[in-house]
Protein backbone atom coordinates (compact mmCIF):
# COMPACT_ATOMS: atom_id res chain seq x y z
CA UNK A 1 0.00 0.00 0.00
CA UNK A 2 2.72 2.47 1.03
CA UNK A 3 4.89 1.43 -1.91
CA UNK A 4 2.12 2.33 -4.34
CA UNK A 5 1.71 5.75 -2.71
CA UNK A 6 5.46 6.39 -2.83
CA UNK A 7 5.64 5.34 -6.49
CA UNK A 8 2.76 7.66 -7.37
CA UNK A 9 4.47 10.56 -5.57
CA UNK A 10 7.78 9.76 -7.29
CA UNK A 11 6.19 9.62 -10.74
CA UNK A 12 4.26 12.84 -10.09
CA UNK A 13 7.48 14.57 -9.05
CA UNK A 14 9.30 13.43 -12.17
CA UNK A 15 6.42 14.52 -14.40
CA UNK A 16 6.33 17.93 -12.70
CA UNK A 17 10.07 18.42 -13.11
CA UNK A 18 9.85 17.37 -16.76
CA UNK A 19 7.07 19.89 -17.45
CA UNK A 20 9.03 22.70 -15.77
CA UNK A 21 12.17 21.79 -17.69
CA UNK A 22 10.26 21.60 -20.96
CA UNK A 23 8.79 25.07 -20.38
CA UNK A 24 12.00 26.78 -19.20
CA UNK A 25 14.64 25.40 -21.60
CA UNK A 26 13.54 27.56 -24.58
CA UNK A 27 13.68 30.67 -22.40
CA UNK A 28 17.16 29.81 -21.12
CA UNK A 29 18.44 29.17 -24.65
CA UNK A 30 17.48 32.65 -25.90
CA UNK A 31 19.04 34.56 -22.98
CA UNK A 32 21.16 37.52 -24.00
CA UNK A 33 24.52 38.32 -22.34
CA UNK A 34 22.94 41.15 -20.33
CA UNK A 35 20.39 38.79 -18.88
CA UNK A 36 23.03 36.18 -18.14
CA UNK A 37 24.97 38.77 -16.12
CA UNK A 38 22.20 38.62 -13.55
CA UNK A 39 22.84 34.89 -13.38
CA UNK A 40 26.51 35.67 -12.67
CA UNK A 41 25.46 37.93 -9.80
CA UNK A 42 23.34 35.16 -8.36
CA UNK A 43 26.26 32.76 -8.71
CA UNK A 44 28.59 35.20 -6.90
CA UNK A 45 26.10 35.54 -4.05
CA UNK A 46 25.92 31.76 -3.83
CA UNK A 47 29.70 31.58 -3.58
CA UNK A 48 29.57 34.16 -0.78
CA UNK A 49 27.16 31.95 1.12
CA UNK A 50 29.47 28.99 0.61
CA UNK A 51 32.33 31.01 2.10
CA UNK A 52 30.18 31.68 5.17
CA UNK A 53 29.71 27.95 5.54
CA UNK A 54 33.41 27.19 5.69
CA UNK A 55 34.80 23.85 6.79
CA UNK A 56 36.01 25.28 10.09
CA UNK A 57 32.61 26.67 10.98
CA UNK A 58 30.84 23.42 10.09
CA UNK A 59 33.43 21.40 12.04
CA UNK A 60 32.96 23.69 15.04
CA UNK A 61 29.19 23.24 14.98
CA UNK A 62 29.41 19.47 14.60
CA UNK A 63 31.93 19.13 17.42
CA UNK A 64 29.83 21.38 19.68
CA UNK A 65 26.75 19.25 19.08
CA UNK A 66 28.77 16.09 19.67
CA UNK A 67 30.06 17.52 22.96
CA UNK A 68 26.54 18.36 24.12
CA UNK A 69 25.42 14.83 23.22
CA UNK A 70 28.36 13.35 25.15
CA UNK A 71 27.55 15.48 28.21
CA UNK A 72 23.90 14.44 28.10
CA UNK A 73 24.80 10.75 27.89
CA UNK A 74 27.31 11.13 30.73
CA UNK A 75 24.64 12.79 32.89
CA UNK A 76 22.10 10.06 32.09
CA UNK A 77 24.67 7.35 32.87
CA UNK A 78 25.45 9.02 36.19
CA UNK A 79 21.74 9.09 37.08
CA UNK A 80 21.33 5.42 36.17
CA UNK A 81 24.38 4.43 38.25
CA UNK A 82 23.11 6.32 41.29
CA UNK A 83 19.72 4.61 40.94
CA UNK A 84 21.43 1.21 40.77
CA UNK A 85 23.51 2.00 43.86
CA UNK A 86 20.39 3.07 45.73
CA UNK A 87 18.59 -0.16 44.79
CA UNK A 88 21.61 -2.17 45.86
CA UNK A 89 21.62 -0.46 49.26
CA UNK A 90 17.91 -1.13 49.67
CA UNK A 91 18.39 -4.83 48.87
CA UNK A 92 21.18 -5.10 51.42
CA UNK A 93 19.01 -3.60 54.13
CA UNK A 94 16.19 -6.04 53.37
CA UNK A 95 18.47 -9.07 53.54
CA UNK A 96 20.19 -9.15 56.93
CA UNK A 97 21.83 -11.82 59.10
CA UNK A 98 18.66 -12.08 61.15
CA UNK A 99 16.92 -13.43 58.09
CA UNK A 100 18.59 -16.83 58.45
CA UNK A 101 17.89 -16.98 62.15
CA UNK A 102 14.23 -16.17 61.60
CA UNK A 103 14.01 -18.78 58.89
CA UNK A 104 15.53 -21.49 61.19
CA UNK A 105 13.14 -20.60 63.99
CA UNK A 106 10.12 -21.08 61.74
CA UNK A 107 11.04 -24.72 61.13
pLDDT single digits (tens) 6-42: 899 999 999 999 988 888 877 777 766 665 566 677 7
Task: With CA atoms as reference, report the closest residue to 49 among 37, 61, 57, 38.
Answer: 57
Domain ranges of the chain: 31-106
Q: Where are the alpha helices (DSSP H) in the chain?
A: 2-29, 33-52, 55-94, 98-106
Please enumerate, as own/partner, the contacts of 1-10 that have beta carbons within 8 Å and a separation of 24 or more.
Answer: none
pLDDT one-digit tens code per residue, 62-107: 899 999 999 999 999 999 999 999 998 888 777 666 777 777 776 6
Q: Does residue 52 carry a pLDDT above 70?
A: no
Q: What is the pTM of this model?
A: 0.41
Amino acid sequence: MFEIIFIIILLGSFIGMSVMLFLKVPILVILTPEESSSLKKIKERGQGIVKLLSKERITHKVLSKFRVLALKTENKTSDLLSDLRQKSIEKKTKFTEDYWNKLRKKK
